[in-house]
Amino acid sequence: MNISHVTPKPDFTLLIQSEEGLSGIFDVRPYLDLEVFRQLKESDEFFKVHNGGYFVEWNCGADLSADTIFSKLQSCPTNIAQLSAPRDTPQAVRP
């Protein structure tokens, strides 16, 4: 499954949408104590997530595969997904 949009949220979650229309929330917090993810505890860094299609990545070298994301994706109410409409740009930035 390909990631079409990623939107970082202030609570260290990502709103994810797939090309197939699936959307949900991925919680990055369990990863933040791992060495490669530690820099993401700074919210400015977290908000610099890049969508690579089959993965998301950050400048610090941290990345998550689409397989990992979709295997742990939590559903979210439709209205939340609509309110958090993803950007069409490949680089999600802090709102």
Q: What is the pLDDT of residues 34-78, one digit of tens each?
A: 999 999 998 899 999 999 999 999 999 999 999 999 999 998 765
Q: Which pair of tokens denotes residue 59? A: 């400048």
pLDDT number for residue 21: 86
Query: What pLDDT does residue 94 have?
Result: 44
Q: Could you tell me the pLDDT band of residue 32, with boundaries at 50, 70 and 90?
A: very high
Q: Which pLDDT value is given to residue 33?
A: 96
- Mean pLDDT, rounded, of the chain: 85
Q: Locate the domains of the chain by residue range.
A: 3-83
Q: From CA 88, how far away is CA 90, in angstroms rounded?
A: 7
pLDDT the model gives residue 95: 45
The pLDDT of residue 42 is 87
What is the spatial order of strands in the sheet that 55-57 belongs to? 50-51, 55-57, 63-65
Question: What homologous superfamily is domain 3-83 in, according to CATH?
Answer: Uncharacterised protein PF10387, DUF2442 (3.30.2020.40)
